[in-house]
């Protein structure tokens, strides 16, 4: 297991990053934490441009999941050993902290300079039409804070450099007063390891080039790095793209890979894009799959939730309300909606979302 190979390396890295500090030498610092108004909220939204904070708060939510977000290796380190550029991440953290909105950060393990060193480099490429490529995002005005994905998306080749990057990122935003971002108001305490590795790629959407065992190794390495930098942080496994066996079998293979995988995430994660068991946002079949591995006591977040089943906004709202209620009953503890309307925003949208986000 690669995880064991890096345990000693992690300690060395931690000393170099200033993460491990001997008690007698530690300056007195005040650890920052998320306020109750954030931690008690069960609801969030995917990011949606410069004015999304207004909608998030007006709709009764206090969480955001930047997607794909700026927590990307490629945009923050130009080569092995190069200094980190945290500017894109800093901008996003400041933006949401200013409005008392908590962040679920997705860690993307791709850097073109690292991918190029793989012997199978060519096979790691996604389509030139992929919607998250930097060129496409530039045209849409969405890549200015590093919110894009490079073309090659296999696991890291240089695990040492990847682990060092993860630790540096987590340490910068953990709020412990050591190597933190200047002016950090609220910490980032929830880290998601990539997104939908189970989704079969197509011409416009392909998040990951790898199988279940590849993802299991990525999860193991990332979990170890996150916890080394911030033992109090929570690691969220990448969301299953749906609730049918095509998606769930991928995770069955992940969980069967090695016993350590079962303890290498803190929060389980499922998505519902109007698919499969949308009456519970796919929580019911997903939790049943977790139970096969004794994992059904894990908290479950739905980090992408929508039910657009009609051209009628009222119908979509009613189903979203009912699906939210059933998801909570089935065990979901936090839900992130993908849309700011049903599907479009109108005069009723705010009132409708406020009703949904009052559900306990």
Separation CA 93–CA 95 (nearest Å)? 6
Q: The domain 2-18+32-356: what is its CATH number?
A: 3.20.20.80
The CA-atom distances, in angstroms, between 90 and each of 17, 288, 356 are 18, 39, 31
Separation CA 319–CA 274 (nearest Å)? 10
The DSSP code sequence of 158-191 is -HHHHHHHHHHHHHHTS-SSSSPPTT--S---EE
347: number of Cβ within 10 Å: 6
pLDDT in tens, 4-42: 445 546 554 554 555 554 344 344 568 999 999 999 999
pLDDT in tens, 330-354: 999 999 999 999 999 999 999 999 9
Query: pLDDT tens per residue, the chain (360 residues)?
Result: 554 445 546 554 554 555 554 344 344 568 999 999 999 999 999 998 888 999 999 999 999 999 999 999 999 999 999 999 999 999 999 999 999 999 999 999 999 999 999 999 999 999 999 999 999 888 877 766 778 999 999 999 999 999 999 999 999 999 999 999 999 999 999 999 999 999 998 999 999 999 999 999 999 999 999 999 999 999 999 999 999 999 999 999 999 999 999 999 999 999 999 999 999 999 999 999 999 999 999 999 999 999 999 999 999 999 999 999 999 999 999 999 999 999 999 999 999 999 999 999
The structure's pTM equals 0.94
With a CB cutoff of 8 Å and minimum separation 6, the contacts of 2 are 159, 217, 220, 221
- Of the candidates 338, 336, 269, 329, the one whose C-alpha atom is nearest the C-alpha of residue 299 is 269
Sequence ranges of the domains in the chain: 2-18+32-356
């Amino acid at each position: 297991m690669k995880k064991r190979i890096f345990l000693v390396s992690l300690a060395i890295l931690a000393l170099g990053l200033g993460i491990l500090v001997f008690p007698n030498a530690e300056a007195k610092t005040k650890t920052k934490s998320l306020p109750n108004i954030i931690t008690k909220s069960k609801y969030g939204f995917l990011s949606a441009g410069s004015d999304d904070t207004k909608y998030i708060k007006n709709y009764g939510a206090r969480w955001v999941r930047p997607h794909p977000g700026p927590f990307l290796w490629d945009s923050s380190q130009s080569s092995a050993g190069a200094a980190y550029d945290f500017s894109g991440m800093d901008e996003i953290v400041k933006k949401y902290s200013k409005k008392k909105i908590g962040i679920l950060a997705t860690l993307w393990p791709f850097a073109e300079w690292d991918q190029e060193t793989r012997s199978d480099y060519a096979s790691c490429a996604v389509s030139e039409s992929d919607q998250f490529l930097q060129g496409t995002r530039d045209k849409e005005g969405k890549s200015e804070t590093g919110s894009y994905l490079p073309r090659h998306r296999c696991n890291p080749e240089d695990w040492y450099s990847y682990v060092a990057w993860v630790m540096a990122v987590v340490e910068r935003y953990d709020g412990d007063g050591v190597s933190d971002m200047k002016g950090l108001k609220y910490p980032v305490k929830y880290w998601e390891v990539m997104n939908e590795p189970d989704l079969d790629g197509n011409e416009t959407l392909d998040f990951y080039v790898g199988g279940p065992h590849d993802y299991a190794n990525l999860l193991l390495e990332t979990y170890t790095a996150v916890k080394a930098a911030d033992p109090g942080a929570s690691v969220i496994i990448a969301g299953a793209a749906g609730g049918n066996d095509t998606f769930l079998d991928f995770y069955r293979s992940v969980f069967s890979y090695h016993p350590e995988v079962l303890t290498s995430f803190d929060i389980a994660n499922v998505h519902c894009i109007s698919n499969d068991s949308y009456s519970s946002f796919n929580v019911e079949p997903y939790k049943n799959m977790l139970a096969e591995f004794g994992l059904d006591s894990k908290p479950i977040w739905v980090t992408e939730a929508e039910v657009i089943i009609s051209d009628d906004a009222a119908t979509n709202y009613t189903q979203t309300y009912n699906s939210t209620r059933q998801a909570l009953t089935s065990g979901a503890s936090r839900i992130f909606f993908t849309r700011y309307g049903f599907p479009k925003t109108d005069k009723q949208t705010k009132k409708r979302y406020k009703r949904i986000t009052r559900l306990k």
